[in-house]
Amino acid sequence: MNNKNIIFRTAILFMIAVLLGMFAGCFSKSNIENIEDEIIIYDPSDGLPAPLEDGYIDISAEMVPLTEFPAMFATVGMPSAPGTVVQQNEKALIDMSNTKDGYVMIRYLNKTDKELRVQIKGPSGEVYTYTLKKSGEFEVFPLSDGNGTYKISVHENVTGIKYATVGSATVNVKLNDEFAPFIRPNQYVNYTSDSKAVKKAAELTKNTKTMLEKVGAIYEYVIKNLTYDKDLAESVKSGYLPDIDKVLEKGKGICFDYAAVTTAMLRSQNIPTKLVVGYADGIYHAWINTYSEETGWMDAVIYFDGKEWKLMDPTFASTSNQSAAIMQFIGKGENYIAKYLY
């Protein structure tokens, strides 16, 4: 290795180390929420965790992805709950009418001040844990694992950190197409036809002719108009959900917000996009994958510089002002390990 390469690699490592040190508070695992869940009836065939000795199982809600630095809409339609296929009791309603479109809709039927959770386990074996709002309105949850059998359960807080199962369902899913879960709104990528983000995406892309141009226009807007919200990163708690229009209005957010805004804007333009939560160089983080007919799924590759695609992580690209060192880190897919897809 020549001296220039040694100096360059050292500079990259030094810059990343400095940036990580500056924002070490964003990486604290104090945001991890450990929750235990009471299972009223346990069936080993459900594929969910077995009860502990005291009859409870452990549900761990992941920390909120915070890190600032590494370690044609109308044709799709909005989600709906027509009630043709449901699992319901006096407390919870799980509407599975549109599983072919990659989602279920769930609502809690009683007034409550108690914390609520939803768990979804698909064919990958990964258990997704969500916070269910107490409003009594339907919320959309994606079936991110594609075709196969899903176990769905709703949980209500009993006391302290213990939860009881108040509803469950099993459904065999056969999607209309592989993009179904990643072209519509859901709880994490929450938008409607009236959302400001959707209107802004339409404005940004009105003169574009290709998918690549659409992606480029939206990407450039996000990284130039959002800044990292360090105050939110220090105070946010597990269960945080991005409010896409509020993020755009404030002009700042954590990496979860960056990814959610970008995903919503791209999906509203009929571009299949995955909001991915996982680890960037060992740090809990969020980024996006997108799809084109020319390349197929581009895992963590969405930045197009006019000649080739590069990995585009909206948070890193924006907060680093696209410095050479950070862009080189972003350009290496092995630095990213996906855990959840939304």
pLDDT digits (tens, 9 = 90+) for 216-263: 888 889 888 988 888 998 888 878 899 999 999 999 988 888 889 999
Q: What's the 3-state SS for the chain?
A: CCHHHHHHHHHHHHHHHHHHHHCHHHHCHHHCEEEEEECCCCCHHHCCCCCCCCCEEEEEECCCCCCCCCCCHHHCCCCCCCCCCEEECCCEEEECCCHHHCEEEEEECCCCCCCEEEEEECCCCCEEEEEECCCCCCEEEECCCCCEEEEEEEEEEEECCEEEEEEEEEEEECCCCCCHHHCCCCCCCCCCCCCHHHHHHHHHHCCCCCHHHHHHHHHHHHHHHCEECHHHHHHCCCCCCCCHHHHHHHCEECHHHHHHHHHHHHHCCCCCEEEEEEEECCEEEEEEEEEECCCEEECCCCEECCCCEECCCHHHHHHCCCCHHHHHHHCCHHHEEEEEEC
- pLDDT tens, 160-192? 878 899 999 999 999 999 999 999 999 999 999
Going from the N-terminus, what domains does the chain have, and what CATH number goes with each?
32-61+79-176 (2.60.40.10), 196-341 (3.10.620.30)
pLDDT along the chain (342 residues), means of 10: 42 32 30 32 46 54 55 60 95 97 96 93 94 93 97 92 92 95 95 94 91 82 86 86 94 88 93 85 75 69 39 51 50 68 92
